[in-house]
């Protein structure tokens, strides 16, 4: 379902290489080895038992196969236990390397990794620790606890890639909504700072919010004068089902220089994740 975005192209965009980008919420991809990271999996006061070794190895193989089938160039992995998970998964994917930095989420200890076929630009891996926004509810500084940014090179083409997992809507409130928007605003600030240095900008992950939300408006640049990011998904696309309602909460946003793209979702086995993979391919 190719859709053309009129007029917004940069004049050089036709020269850039095609790419396929995917974001995968792995739904608590923890290993079988105790002790476990965080306070949720495999703990007395947590509510998630750890997988068996057979279950863990099976999940790794299934995710690796999905990535291989997609032939994705850049993949964000959300809700992994730590760097060792990214390392083990990458061992099944010889074309890829991984990018990792520990998240600030000490309760769940969920981390993010980026897998890529592209070259990592030295010194660009960051969690943007000094970039924050102010919550309209609490008036306090906010930054995402789970975010990972990196600069990549594909030949002569450069990419600024941000993967994130924004605060959930579990026990949602005005305070949590405001925090989620502030997290998005903090990411947007990092994008504005870095966008001039790169040919392409990708922001992806589980935003825990839908395309029409204030969260997505902030991420895409509706509230500032800097170049916007673009959402290629249609109203029929969805990545998660909540109480029977299909919702798109896993997003892949791209700079407006992309003028020909295809967004779609790919089912995941239920034993691996309750999210579908969100994929963006562009020429």
- Listed residue (240, 134, 126) closest to 181, CA to CA: 134
DSSP states of 210-252: -TTSHHHHHHHTTTSSSPPEEE---TT--SEEETTEEE--EEE
Walk along the chain (283 residues) in steps of 10 and give the mean pLDDT of each run.
43 70 99 96 89 98 98 99 99 99 96 99 97 97 98 98 96 96 98 98 99 98 97 98 96 97 98 98 95
pLDDT recorded at residue 5: 45
Q: Where are the beta strands (DSSP E) in the chain?
A: 3-4, 19-29, 74-80, 97-100, 111-116, 119-120, 133-134, 141-142, 147-154, 157-165, 200-206, 229-231, 240-242, 245-247, 250-255, 260-266, 277-282
Cβ proximity of 226 and 195 under 8 Å: yes
pLDDT recorded at residue 277: 99
Question: CA-to-CA distance for 234 and 1, rounded, in angstroms?
Answer: 9
> Is 13 domain-assigned?
no
pLDDT recorded at residue 9: 40
Task: Look at the chain and report how many structural domains it folds into.
Answer: 1
pLDDT recorded at residue 13: 41
Question: CA-to-CA distance for 261 and 82, rounded, in angstroms?
Answer: 32
Cβ proximity of 136 and 178 under 8 Å: yes
pLDDT recorded at residue 46: 82
> Is 117 domain-assigned?
yes
Host domain of residue 91: 3-8+18-282
**CATH number for the domain harbouring residue 78:** 3.60.10.10
Tokens of 210: 């839908």
């Amino acid at each position: 379902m190719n859709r053309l975005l009129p007029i917004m192209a940069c004049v050089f965009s036709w020269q850039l290489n095609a790419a396929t980008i995917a974001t995968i919420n792995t739904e608590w991809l923890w290993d079988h080895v105790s002790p476990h990271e965080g306070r949720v999996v495999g703990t007395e006061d947590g509510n998630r038992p750890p997988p068996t070794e057979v279950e863990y190895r099976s999940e790794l193989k299934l995710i690796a196969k999905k990535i291989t089938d997609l032939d994705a160039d850049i993949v964000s992995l959300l809700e992994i236990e730590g760097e060792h998970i990214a390392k083990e998964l990458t061992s099944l994917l010889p074309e890829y390397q991984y990018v990792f930095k520990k998240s600030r989420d000490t309760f769940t200890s969920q981390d993010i990794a980026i897998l890529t076929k592209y070259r990592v630009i030295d010194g660009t891996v960051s969690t943007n620790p000094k970039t924050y926004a102010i919550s309209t509810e609490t008036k306090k500084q906010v930054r995402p606890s789970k975010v990972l940014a990196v600069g990549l090179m594909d030949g002569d083409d450069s990419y600024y890639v941000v993967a994130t997992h924004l605060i959930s809507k579990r026990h949602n409130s005005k305070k949590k909504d405001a925090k989620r928007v502030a997290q998005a605003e903090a990411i947007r600030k990092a994008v504005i700072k870095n966008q001039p240095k790169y040919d392409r900008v990708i922001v992806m992950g589980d935003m825990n919010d839908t395309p029409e939300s204030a969260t997505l408006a902030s991420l895409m640049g509706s509230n500032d004068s800097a170049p916007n990011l673009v959402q290629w998904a249609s109203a029929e696309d969805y990545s998660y089902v909540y109480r029977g309602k299909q919702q798109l909460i896993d997003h892949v946003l791209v700079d407006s220089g992309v003028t020909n793209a295809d967004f779609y979702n790919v089912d995941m086995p239920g034993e691996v994740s309750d999210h579908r993979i969100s994929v963006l391919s562009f020429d």
